[in-house]
């Protein structure tokens, strides 16, 4: 239990954005994503990039930190940009042998590339500035209108936050079982691909058994603590808007409006 596993990527500083209501942050994030796809104007995209930088500054997030979130998806971005570059119409800008790059290709490559980059970076500010629990609370409240359509929003939110809480436990459990099988002479490192995949049977089955047992135990413990579903539950820290939260809503509306106009 000595190893410290934290889930999510909450960046623990105090800032104006950190203090905002998760619902307001969810709203501006969605507004930003929608805005990106409303306009094809370079000025608008440029403005959105500047907005991202200002927003990160307000959240006291360093730019390298936000940039790092692109790393896992860099290949995907590159492939999308290249695909768009080669499929295009209009005047030929550049040709090397049989490959020709055309004007619309360049345009859509720039557009898709910058949209993807901004989209991922802005979404990351949401998880950097909001604790997973608060995010779940925000979603529960923010989507509570779905209850009208019989969507069990509260139950889903609780399920999600419990699932998040169990990830580090299951990770530890997996390490324990792997160690136990290694102690019985199992070799996870060597051998071909098939052999290594096969080597996971002795890990997967005990993991599965353990997950089922733990969920039964948890269900029992929740029953013992009078859980009967979302109906009639209260909250220790209910979400309450502050005056400043309106700023994020206004910015969000501004982003969408500008996207429609430009």
The contact set with other proteins (CB under 8 A) reads: 1-4, 132-133, 158, 161-162, 164-165, 168-169, 173, 176-177, 179-187, 201-202, 205-206, 209-210, 214, 217-218, 220-228, 232-238
Residue ranges of the alpha helices (H) in 130-152?
A: 132-142
Shortest distance in whole angstroms from residue 180 CB to other proteins: 4
Shortest distance in whole angstroms from residue 6 CB to other proteins: 9
Structure tokens at 20: 């905002």
Distance CA 124, CA 63 (A): 12
The number of beta carbons lying within 10 Å of the beta carbon of residue 188 is: 14
Q: Which lies closer to other proteins via its Cβ, residue 70 or residue 199?
A: 199
Shortest distance in whole angstroms from residue 115 CB to other proteins: 34
Shortest distance in whole angstroms from residue 198 CB to other proteins: 13
Residue ranges of the alpha helices (H) in the chain?
A: 22-38, 42-58, 63-67, 74-86, 103-129, 132-142, 153-183, 193-198, 201-224, 245-261
Q: Which lies closer to other proteins via its Cβ, residue 83 or residue 212?
A: 212
Q: Which lies closer to other proteins via its Cβ, residue 47 or residue 202?
A: 202
Shortest distance in whole angstroms from residue 68 CB to other proteins: 21
Q: Which lies closer to other proteins via its Cβ, residue 111 or residue 177?
A: 177
Contact 126, 23 (CB under 8 A): no
Distance CA 39, CA 88 (A): 19
Dihedral, CA of residue 228, residue 231, residue 234 and residue 240, to nearest 10: 150
Q: Which lies closer to other proteins via its Cβ, residue 57 or residue 160?
A: 160
């Amino acid at each position: 239990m000595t190893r410290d596993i934290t889930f999510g990527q909450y960046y623990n500083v105090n800032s104006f954005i950190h203090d905002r209501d998760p619902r307001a942050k969810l709203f501006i994030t969605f507004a930003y994503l929608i805005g990106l796809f409303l306009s094809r104007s370079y000025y608008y995209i440029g403005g959105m990039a500047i907005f991202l930088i200002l927003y990160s500054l307000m959240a006291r997030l360093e730019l390298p930190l936000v940039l790092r979130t692109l790393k896992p998806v860099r290949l995907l971005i590159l492939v999308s940009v290249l695909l768009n570059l080669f499929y295009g119409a209009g005047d030929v800008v550049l040709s090397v042998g049989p490959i020709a790059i055309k004007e619309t290709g360049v345009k859509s490559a720039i557009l898709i590339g910058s949209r993807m980059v901004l989209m991922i970076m802005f979404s990351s500010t949401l998880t950097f500035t909001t604790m997973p629990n608060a995010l779940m609370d925000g979603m529960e409240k923010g989507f509570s209108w779905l209850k009208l359509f019989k969507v069990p929003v509260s139950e889903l939110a609780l399920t999600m936050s419990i699932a998040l809480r169990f990830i580090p436990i299951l990770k530890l459990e997996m390490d324990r079982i792997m160690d136990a099988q290694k102690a019985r002479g199992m070799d996870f490192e060597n051998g071909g691909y098939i052999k290594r995949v096969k080597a996971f049977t002795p890990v997967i089955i005990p993991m599965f058994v353990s997950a089922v047992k733990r969920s039964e135990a948890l269900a029992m413990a929740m029953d013992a603590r009078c859980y009967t579903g979302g109906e009639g539950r209260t909250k220790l820290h209910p979400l309450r808007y502050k005056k400043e939260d309106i700023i994020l809503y206004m910015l969000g509306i501004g982003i969408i409006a500008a996207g429609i106009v430009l």
